[in-house]
Structure 1
């Protein structure tokens, strides 16, 4: 049976990737329900497991793509690529009722711009605090605090080093995991219990994975609304970070 599975995984790498991700998610949600009573969302645990496995894969194979460097698991490179990621993000918007979207109105737009600028400033200030003085490096790390997608896109656009781009991704991942954990704990205090507040929350926080997982642990019906504005947030960050925000940083630094 084991030989048959190895042969199947060797021929159909993407199927192997889905199987590995499915088992990881099952394990993560089991750990969440068993040991944290759902307070630490399964998605956050799954991300942590994924990071550990990626590190182990990189050490074992001495490659740069984590587990995707293992021949039988090379399908993880496709599954974790931009195509399926963007498809998953877009698919979350299909549960949205547009009557609720109109009610967010001007406040939703303000939340988007405020969320991007505040996150960028926080990341940039931390970068300066750690001794970074080059505008490109400050902008890249600040963009990473926006989301871990905006960071590398900005860094590649501005010609940042791979080390700084890696830091920007790390900043975004820390933010995403923190949002996953903190959202269900603070939802009642901030009135996060309706589609309108979920859209504003998604616009302010922005990290799609963090917002989606946090809202799923709070109220699954709110996920499409928060994820939708969080997706717009990512797009807005990609537009502003390497252009307007970079010019502002360069003027100051």
Structure 2
């Protein structure tokens, strides 16, 4: 057992890939057999991941287990950003240009609607200081924008955790609801996918939802969702905070 444990620890990243591979295999099987594809496999995988993190406990979930420490690297910012950039390369320039002003407007509209909605919820639950309201509002945009904004403004760990939770709830809601609503909202072409990505913003939710709708639309939604995240990280600690400070 100690020999196997040593091998797994020394090859942490490979172990992480194997674990994620098995998790995805089980998730897609569960999606197909238990929900008949209504709940996308990636959504099931995220739920499995959250469950494993809760069961593992600790500060970093399963990454705190020595044999699974490679999960921390695999799930870190470096590989995440690499995957986002690689996905964006699937975009055809002429299709992106077609989104025009509406595509750009969707970024700002989606960002500020999420911010004000998250800020309103924070206010309703008793938060009155602009730092906390801004951080939780930014978390409602995405679970990346929230901690970036909170870190820049000096928010407490509790508030940053709430902002991440808000972003995760949004991501899961988007990925689950997208396949059901796609036909109703006309989500069947690259232009619509870019506008959708700009409005929703959450990379994981948009990509998983579009993958369940039409895999060909994923790069287009991912492109504007990536812009959304970057724009949110810029506006969160600046414009959003100034608005919150003026109001509260």
- The TM-score range, normalised by the shorter chain, is over 0.9
Match of 1:86 among 81, 85, 96: 81
| 1:187 match: secondary structure | helix
Aligned equivalents of 1:139 and 1:7: distance in 2?
A: 45
| 1:235 match: secondary structure | helix
Query: In the alignment, is the contact (CA less than 8 A) between 2:177 and 2:209 conserved in 1?
Result: yes
Question: What is the aligned partner in structure 1 of residue 27 from structure 2?
Answer: 28
Q: Is 1:163–2:158 an aligned residue pair? A: yes
| 2:185 match: secondary structure | coil
Question: What is the aligned partner in structure 1 of residue 219 from structure 2?
Answer: 224
Aligned equivalents of 2:51 and 2:156: distance in 1?
A: 24
Question: What is the aligned partner in structure 2 of residue 250 from structure 1?
Answer: 245
Runs (4+) of structure 1 exceeding 6 A deviation are none
1:113-124 pair list within 5 angstroms: 113-124=108-119
- RMSD of aligned alpha carbons: 1.0
| 1:39 match: secondary structure | coil
Aligned equivalents of 2:96 and 2:9: distance in 1?
A: 46
Match of 2:230 among 218, 228, 235: 235
Aligned equivalents of 2:197 and 2:137: distance in 1?
A: 19
Q: CA deviation at 1:52?
A: 1.0
Aligned equivalents of 2:115 and 2:247: distance in 1?
A: 14
Aligned equivalents of 2:240 and 2:87: distance in 1?
A: 29
Aligned equivalents of 2:38 and 2:205: distance in 1?
A: 14
Structure 2 unaligned residues grouped into runs of 5+: none
Q: CA deviation at 1:7?
A: 3.8
Question: What is the aligned partner in structure 2 of residue 134 from structure 1?
Answer: 129
Aligned equivalents of 2:179 and 2:105: distance in 1?
A: 24
Q: Is 1:187–2:182 an aligned residue pair? A: yes
Q: CA deviation at 1:55?
A: 1.3
What does the per-residue CA deviation read over 1:71-124, in whole Å, with 9 as the maximum and x for residues that have no partner? 111111111110001001111112111110111011100000000000000000
TM-score, normalised to structure 1, is: 0.96
Question: What is the aligned partner in structure 1 of residue 46 from structure 2?
Answer: 47
Q: Is 1:100–2:95 an aligned residue pair? A: yes
What does the per-residue CA deviation read over 1:169-200, in whole Å, with 9 as the maximum and x for residues that have no partner? 00000000000000000000000000000000
Query: In the alignment, is the contact (CA less than 8 A) between 2:15 and 2:70 conserved in 1?
Result: yes
Query: In the alignment, is the contact (CA less than 8 A) between 2:9 and 2:69 conserved in 1?
Result: no
| 1:188 match: secondary structure | helix
Q: CA deviation at 1:10?
A: 2.3
Question: What is the aligned partner in structure 2 of residue 15 from structure 1?
Answer: 14
Structure 1 unaligned residues grouped into runs of 5+: none
What does the per-residue CA deviation read over 1:17-68, in whole Å, with 9 as the maximum and x for residues that have no partner? 111111111111111011111110111111111111111111xxxx311111
Question: What is the aligned partner in structure 1 of residue 61 from structure 2?
Answer: 66
